[in-house]
Amino acid sequence: MNNMMLINGKWIGPTGTDSDSTVTNPATEEEFEKIPQADGETISKAVEAANIAFKKWSGLSYTERGNYLKKAASIIYDRKIEIGRLITMEMGKPIAEAIGEVEKAAKILLYYAEEGERVYGRIIADQSRSFQSHVIYYPVGPVAAIIPWNYPIELLTWKTGGALTAGCTMVIKPASITPLSASAFCRCLTDAGIPDGVINLVYGRGSVLGKYLISDKRIKKVAFTGSTEVGKKIIEQCASNMTKYSAELGGHCPLIVGETADLEKAASDATRRSFRNMGQICIAINRIYVHRSIHDKFTAKLKSKAESLIIGDSLKTNGVNLGPMSDKNGLEKIIKQIEDAVEKGATVITGGNKPDGANKGFFFKPTILTNVNHEMLIMKEESFGPIVGVMPFDTAEEAVKLANDTNYGLAAYIQSNDYYEIEYLIENLSAGNVAVNNPDAGVMNAPYGGWGDSGNGYEHGPEGLLGYLKIKQIRKKICK
């Protein structure tokens, strides 16, 4: 039931032929479900359904659309355990975090259901008293939403909340690793009574079917979250039809720990943001720059906290902090980064290998490297795994230079109790999101977007909603 695509209100299951693909549990390496794959014709049908449904859906009021979202949020909340379980089976995060992700999805829909009421437009005075400009927002049209696997429901919901509230319809393409949770999510929306064609769900390899979706002229916006490499390709494809896009891409995020930082808190926050979800978070901390005077103390605390994390299959063991990585390629990538760093002189102070006895599953120990430098892959290439490099600095200027030595600019973290140092760092760090003395750079009602290679466009907050709207400016003569 959760292995189906959705086109124009109809659910389409596997074909029972070789064209079906499989879903693997990364904790056991077992293939446990088959899913159908869309071809160009199927994609076209999904786009057509979204295009036809757009007229009616965009014609509803914000309140009417909001009511559907509120109902869907309540159904999602009721099914949080079922959907959470699917997330864990597909991509491995601990079940408690998966359920938390689904709860958050329900809250995001509720947030946008209300935020729709606050799309006001504007009236602008003219240079002449006889004229006025009115600014009115319209939904852009059918949206293609292309989603990664690391937060498969949360990242899908950001797009769904913004797009549906604005009056757009959707064709959703989840990552091939996480199709089932996306299907269960879409079923909550259809069970909430969302009209046929408003949301459609297609499966298949992005590298094969992406072009059909993106180059279709009926698609008016591509909302993409994923790697910078794929994001750049998608933006190029959008250019030919002048299709609007948002691109939330990769990161390589620094944490600066100043001399005055609360070391216990800095180490706890760093542990959470470096290793949570096995480091498979775009805003994960990848590089830590610590004032030389506290480098050894901080590193010892970080090591002890990393070693206290419980690794395992959360569907079999209670209290698990870290599941497996979501796929084998990711695991191979971090092993290569560690080998590269060690070859160039780094020291692995903890981790660097699989936990004892983990013969099956893509498990790996949280890994900390010291004696690192910017020649090493780990300090410049997105790891998307549970590894972090720690390096000393002497002055705040030097810390900024090191932190900004990257083309990415998604998030940066500061731990300090020196007011002027904090202000200096906020001002000079090149990142779309800066978190001070806390590990959570993104929040539901504030804009979230990357600088540089980390993307273009915003999600979260009113800015996330504006991304699904286009403006009409009307200059009116208002008196003779």
Binding site for ligand NAP (CB under 6 A): 146-150, 155, 173, 175-176, 205-207, 210, 225-227, 230, 233-234, 248-251, 282, 382, 384, 410, 450, 454-455
In Å, how far from its chain's centre is CA 90?
16
248 is catalytic: yes
Residue 43: helix, strand or coil by DSSP?
Answer: helix
- DSSP state string for 245-269: EEEE----EEEEE-TTS-HHHHHHH
Which CB sits closer to ligand NAP, 150 or 271?
150
Give me the least distance between CB of 146 and ligand NAP, in Å please: 5
Q: Measured from the CB of residue 228, what is the shortest distance to ligand NAP in angstroms?
A: 6
Pick between residue 23 and residue 267 the one whose CB is nearest to ligand NAP.
23
Is 33 in the active site?
no
Catalytic residue among 33, 282, 421, 459: 282
* Beta carbon nearer to ligand NAP, 290 or 431: 431
Name the 3-class secondary structure at 46.
helix
Q: Using the structure block, give the residue that is written with the tokens 């395992």.
A: 312
The answer to whether 170 and 50 have CB atoms below 8 angstroms apart is: yes
Cβ 42 to ligand NAP shortest distance, Å: 15
- Give residues with Cβ within 8 angstroms of 357, minimum separation 6: none
**Sign of the CA dihedral with 385 first, then 390, 396, and 400 last:** negative
The Cα 457–Cα 451 span in angstroms is 9
CB of 140 to ligand NAP, least distance (A): 19
Q: Which of 33, 90, 248, 421 is catalytic?
A: 248
Q: Buried b / exposed e across 22-40, counting CB within 10 Å, b at 16+?
A: ebbbbbbeeeebebbbbee
For residue 306, which amino acid is it?
A: A
Structure tokens at 328: 């084998």
Do the strands 408-409 and 221-225 form a parallel or antiparallel pair, or are they unpaired?
unpaired
> In this complex, which beta carbon is closest to ligand NAP, that of residue 238 or of residue 422?
238
Q: Tell me how far, at minimum, the Cβ of 34 lies from ligand NAP, in Å.
A: 16
Whose tokens are 């290439």? That residue is 381
> Which residue, 94 or 464, is less far from ligand NAP as judged by CB?
464
Question: Which residues are marked as active site?
Answer: 248, 282
